[in-house]
Copies of this chain bind each other. A is one copy, B any other.
Amino acid sequence: MVDTDDPRVVAAAWSRLAEPADPAAGHLVRALGADAALAWVLDAAAGPDVAERAIRRLHGARPGLPDELAPARLLRAVSRWAPRTRGLDPRRELRSLDLLGGTLLLPGDPRWPRALDDLGVLAPHCLWVRGEPDLGGASAGSVALVGARACTEYGRHVAAELAHGLASRGVTVVSGGAYGIDAAAHRAALAGRGTTVAYLAGGIDRLYPAGNADLLRGVLDAGGAVVGEVPPGSVPSRVRFLLRNRLIAATARATVVVEAAWRSGALSTAARAAELLRPVGAVPGPVTSMASSGCHRLLRDGAAVCVTDVDEVAELALPVGDGLPDGGSGDRARGGTASGAGTPDGLDGVGRRLFDALPLRRAADVASIARTAGLALDETRGALGLLELAGFAVQEAGSWRRASSGNR
C-alpha cells in the first residue's frame, strides 16, 4: 500500500498517476490537499461503481468544487488514473532516485522554483532532480534558450554565443536537453563555466536523447541540474515534450527562441512564456532560411522582441517596468534606460533588492551582497550578472558595486 502520510511518497505517486498538467489532478490536490486527494483516488479507483459513489460523496461533502471536478469530468479523470494505481509503488521510484544521487523537490521546499507557482493547478506535483537541487535561485537569474532540433550552423552559432555570454556572467541557461539549439546552449554554457539546467520530458534516470547523454552528464558535473516532472522510468512522449515546455517557460526569467521553423515545438515554449507574462525574445535570421521562419513569425505577430546579442537578451530578462514616465521599453535607447539618474525605477523584486544592496563605492563580494539583500547566493550571482549586463552593476576583481550613472 501507498503511505499517504509521507509527503514525498504522495507527490511521487501523483507524478506517476497523472500526466503532466492534468487539470483534474491539480484541482483535486488544491481542493483536498495532495495526501487526502491521493487517498480518495486510491479508494475511488477500485471500479466504476465505486468511483461514482466516491464522487457523489465528495460532491456531497464539498459543495462548490470547481467545474474541472464536475462529476462527469472527475469520473473520466479517475478512469485515467485507475490503471496506474495498480502496482503503484512510489518508494521504488524514490529508491531509483536515491541510487542516482537525485533529489525530490516538493512545492514549499526553499529550493523549489517559486516561479512554477504561476502555473497554478498546472504546476508539477514535484520535481525529480539530478545534480544541484537548489533550483530556487535559478528563476531570478536564468534565461531559457530554446529552438529547433533541426537547426542550422547559424542557429548553433548564435545559441552558443548567447549561452556563453549569459553563463560567463553567472546567468543560468535553461533549456530542454534536446539536439540542435538546446544542446548548443547547454554546451556553450558549460564552456562559459556557467550553470545550466535541462528540463527533460521523460524520467531523469535516462539521459535522453542518448546522443546528448555525455553532454547532460557534463551539465551535472558542472554544478547544473537535469530535471523531470515524471518519475524515473517514464518515457518521453510527444505530449510530454510539449508540456515540459511550460516548465522551461515558467522557471526562466525570459525565453529566447534562437531558431525555429514555422511549426516548431519551440514556439509552444514561447507561447507558454507569453501566457505567463514572461518576456519572450526571438533571434532573427536570413529570410531564406526556413529554420528562422518561426522566429520571424513571432516577430511579425508582435509575440516576441527582436534580440540579436547577449546584451539585448539581458535587457529582456531584467526588464524595466511600465512605471517609467515616458511609456516604457519603446523609449529605451540601446544600453541605457529612460531614467537619466541611473535609478532603475522599474526593476522587479529581486533586481531591485539587489540593486539597493549594492555598495555605491567600494565593491563587496557576492556573499556579503547576498546577506545584505537577503537573497540566496545562487540567486544573487545570477541576478548580479543580469544587473551587470543591463549596466546597473560593475564587477571589480570578483567584487561588485553599483554602476555610476556615467557608466550607463
Contact = CB atoms under 8 A, between A and B. Distances in A.
Contact of A287 (B158, B287, B299): B158
A281 to B, nearest CB: 10
Interface of A: 154, 157-158, 283-288, 292-293, 295-297, 299-302, 305-309, 312, 330, 334
Contacts of A300: 305-308, 312
Nearest to A154: B286
12 contacts: A154-B286, A158-B287, A284-B285, A284-B295, A284-B299, A285-B285, A285-B286, A285-B287, A296-B308, A300-B307, A300-B312, A302-B302
A244 to B, nearest CB: 27
Contact of A299 (B286, B306, B309): B306
A288 B157 contact: yes
Contacts of A285: 284-287
A309 B287 contact: yes
Contacts of A308: 287, 293, 296, 300
A151 to B, nearest CB: 14
A77 to B, nearest CB: 34
A284 B306 contact: yes
A284 B292 contact: yes
A182 to B, nearest CB: 19
A262 to B, nearest CB: 9
Which of A283, A308, A309 lies at the interface centre, i.e. has the most chain B CB atoms within 10 A of its CB? A308
A287 B161 CA distance: 11
A288 B158 contact: yes
Nearest to A281: B300
Task: Give the 9 A-B residue pairs with the shortest CB-CB distance, closest first.
Answer: A284-B284, A299-B306, A287-B308, A300-B306, A296-B308, A296-B306, A286-B286, A302-B330, A299-B299
Nearest to A306: B299
Contacts of A297: 334
Nearest to A162: B287
B301 A330 contact: yes
A71 B114 CA distance: 67
Contacts of A330: 301-302
Nearest to A258: B287
A297 B158 CA distance: 18
A134 to B, nearest CB: 33
A62 B135 CA distance: 76
Contacts of A302: 302, 330
A158 B284 CA distance: 15
Contacts of A288: 154, 157-158
Nearest to A289: B286
Contacts of A334: 297
A284 to B, nearest CB: 3
A305 B300 CA distance: 6
Contacts of A296: 284, 306, 308
Contacts of A306: 284, 296, 299-300, 306
